[in-house]
Structure 1
């Protein structure tokens, strides 16, 4: 009978096995734990290794938290983007004069009210309608009408219908064929092609009343069928027919002259030039109490303009040159795996709107404001998209709409802190408690147009004399203010911003491995050594020596 060999005690074997690992591992500092040194040296190395390892863990944690806070970064592209790959901006122009004075004069109505002169039924109706467009005036006591009918839009068109005497504008270089619905444009030039009269602009309804827009998509491409839109507004000259999308740009079939229009080159001759005019007897300072002239808003062709919030001004008898600097942000497809809240943007079809086919942050905010106003006041403002059965707020609801807009802009945090200050009734209070907010993040591919403007006085009469027009070199009268707007791209290319992952899989490995290597010398081979000593070497020792720890020496 073979004599059974006795093995060392377990803890002694474990100590010897650990010392063997310390002598062979590539992790810095570990070999000193396996040496038979004094306790002071062992404690000193233990403290050094502990502090180093703690610093390494804290650094890795900081890198990880940075990735959690902002996993997506925005950087500049390495090369420029040509301007012909993006559309020329949609240009919305709003006159500050809101009615033909011969049809309706806001100033004369206020004078009548101040002198206690009774208004006719028609004057009272127009006054109530214009109360939603003109600046608030405490001298005016409006009717107690809660809701307006669709006659509101017909009345706006009626008070904006311009009639001109035959030949009265020919001396200004404008076509005698100009019609009322084409006001306030005389002639315009785009890509060095002149249009006289200017037929490029179409009427739209905005928060500034009736405005006129160029290069905007047709309403059938912007609004869903559920949206009720007056048929006279938001009609493009022709549909885009799928030739352009914000994410994909222009298709190969778009050709040189697609819709929405694009500029092939930079410079004023490749841009848009518009002559704007206004009869001098048509100024009405009581409706819009600011400077007279025109508000101009540049926006995406797929976005609904808000000229009361985003605009620059073209004064009367001035030439304004506006150099356009586009800003575009693109997003790498690898970012799509992150949630919208992490990447702070929406990819196509991730966010659906009720009234709009095309998602943009501005369209989302307008729809959100519409829903908020509907909850707050049981109706919506005249420029907001709505279903056919939704009521349009009347003049008596103006205060409610102003409170709703102010409360809406405060946001959820401030609104909750302020409590019930803006809640008009119990029903509104209950509805607003269930309000979830907007969540109107930008689109992952976004495009905005910034402008740098310069202006100078324009003596149109002297310009006409200098041109020596055929019909007359003399100016018979001077009845109109005439302004000129020149819009063009400043440069033939621009630098695009791009969203990328802050750390991809390789970046994570490089960051974590680099920190571990810097502080401890740890590598993939170090990990394999530890796995080897915990698995393969134990099995091989058992087979070669009959004991997992191997020979005692």
Structure 2
């Protein structure tokens, strides 16, 4: 006897009992055919609209899950003074130290042209005219150093006790060389305070809040040189940044002895929503400190990434690195022929450029840090010290005022927003900017399905259940019923 089970009847039963809106009107044979046709059109349009909005929500989730706004709830914020670094700087006035180093290295009758060679080595910035002239020409000086340049640089560069003294923060003194820590950079070793990039960070507490509104870091820069004119460089940077050959001029102070410098700054930090870290790297367009694969420093930053980019470019171009490049082995450091290669490719290896630019330079694929700090200069003072002191300079780095706004990176389309709820779910985020109010209304997938077709999570569970377990059960029950009927007929 053929089976009386009908799949059409099963579908009709599902439509009459399911929780999707409108389907039970279509399955109700007591309704007029015009009314049923009307509901067919409405259901089709509703599902079509739902698909369109779900596709739009998915597209927005994939392409733009992050918003960048400004936060002004500043009363409970704590603001730290930025990192401050000091480095030796190449200048004609540093000849005294070079003379002393040369006298220790070579006999008294050495050629004074070698002083310029030492200067090129100790303050190497990508070019070394004297080094190449004296060490690679046909009339090469036999005393000219051809390798081990880091040793010669160490004889000339200043140590912390030779340049820093009288450090204080808000008139509370502290040991300069305990907190100004050594950091290796691509411009030689420097000393930096409040940085997370040193080997063993030891920040000095420089916290400013509503009860302590101003912070002033003071220190004295000096030299034991007989000369009265000497130049250092002081950098004001984010705690994750490092001084490097491409550091902006706006972040740099050139220090001349006999003068007093005061720089007043303001800060804008970036706050990140906890879910930002779960967002794909290409969507948030920034890196966190720990996302530091093969980095030269303990933590990721934009400047640290650029230093690594330069290191790789040097290796690719000249098969060696200069003697200042961090994390470089003795075998990787350039000899005199390698230095000549770096010199010849100076424009390419020391300049950063965007990918589309045609000029020489490096196009480094470095993302900004998710935690970077914007430092703005409010005022700079540069005046002579009275009474005149020729062998020292006084430096002050001051927080001009507490920030009243900070940037906020929000996740406006996370996974939870994509899934949504069974009812209309919307997130209205209002973010204030200096030019306008921006409003973003994001309807979740679940809210879309609930709005257009009255669906919930259980509706889809019901759909799967009805056409798997329920379908098999109905077929089995129908066949069992037929078997019982056959058995009764035979018994009769």
Which TM-score band applies after superposition, normalised by the shorter structure? 0.5 to 0.7
1:264-279 pair list within 5 angstroms: 264-266=207-209, 270-276=215-221
Supply the distance in 2 between the matched residues of 1:48 and 1:487 (Cα, whole angstroms).
67
Per-residue deviation, 1:218: 8.8
**Structure 1 residue 201 displacement after superposition:** 4.4
In structure 2, the residue matched to 1:190 is: 169
TM-score, structure 1 length as denominator? Answer: 0.59
State the SS of the aligned residue for 1:100.
helix
Shift of the 399–64 alpha-carbon distance from structure 1 to 2, 3 Å rule, reads: same
The CA distance in 2 between the partners of 1:73 and 1:201, in whole Å, is 37
Separation in 2, partners of 1:454, 1:76: 24
- In structure 1, distance between residues paired with 2:160 and 2:61: 59
SS state at 1:452 partner: strand
The residue aligned with 2:316 is: 375
Q: Is the 8 A contact 1:192 1:269 kept in 2?
A: no
Kindly indicate whether residue 241 of structure 2 is the aligned counterpart of residue 296 of structure 1: no
> What residue in structure 1 maps to residue 96 of structure 2?
103
Match of 2:147? 149
Per-residue CA shift, 1:247-283, capped at 9, x if unaligned?
A: xxxxxxxxxxxx3111244558643123457999866
Q: CA deviation at 1:352?
A: 3.9
- Give structure 2 stretches of 5+ with no counterpart: 99-110, 138-144, 422-443, 483-492
Deviation of 1:151 after TM superposition, in Å, equals 4.2
Instruction: Give the count of matched residue pairs.
Output: 429
Write the mapping of 1:185-264 to structure 2, written as runs, cut at 5 A. Answer: 185=164, 187-194=166-173, 201=180, 206-209=185-188, 211-216=190-195, 221=199, 239-240=200-201, 259-264=202-207
Change (3 A) 1:67 1:48: same
Shift of 1:377: 1.0
The question of whether the paired residues in 1 share the 8 Å contact of 2:132 and 2:340 is answered with no
Q: How does 1:312-461 map to 2 (within 5 A)?
A: 312-314=251-253, 317=259, 319-325=261-267, 327-330=269-272, 332=274, 340=281, 351-353=292-294, 355-385=296-326, 386-392=328-334, 393-395=338-340, 397-406=342-351, 409-410=353-354, 446-448=371-373, 450-456=375-381, 458=383, 460-461=385-386
Q: Is the 8 A contact 1:204 1:212 kept in 2?
A: yes
Indicate conservation of the 8 Å contact 1:297/1:312, yes or no.
yes
Structure 1 residues 356 and 189: alpha-carbon distance in aligned structure 2, compared to 1, 3 A threshold: closer
Question: Secondary structure of 2:51's match?
Answer: helix
Counterparts of 2:369 and 2:135, CA distance in 1: 42
Q: CA deviation at 1:380?
A: 1.3
Q: Which residue of 1 aligns with 2:452?
A: 519
Please say if residues 264 and 398 of structure 2, whose CA atoms lie closer than 8 Å, have aligned partners that are also in contact. yes
1:495-519 deviation per Cα after TM superposition (whole angstroms, max 9, x unaligned): 6846658333475132222111222
Q: Give RMSD over aligned pairs.
A: 5.3
TM-score (norm 2): 0.64
Unaligned regions of 5+ residues in structure 1, if any?
106-118, 162-178, 222-238, 241-258, 285-291, 424-431, 462-474, 548-553
In structure 2, the residue matched to 1:28 is 21
Structure 1 residues 134 and 143: alpha-carbon distance in aligned structure 2, compared to 1, 3 A threshold: same
Deviations 1:434-456 (A, max 9, x none): xxx98755666x35352433124
Task: Write the distance in 2 (CA, Å) between the matches of 1:34 and 1:394.
Answer: 88
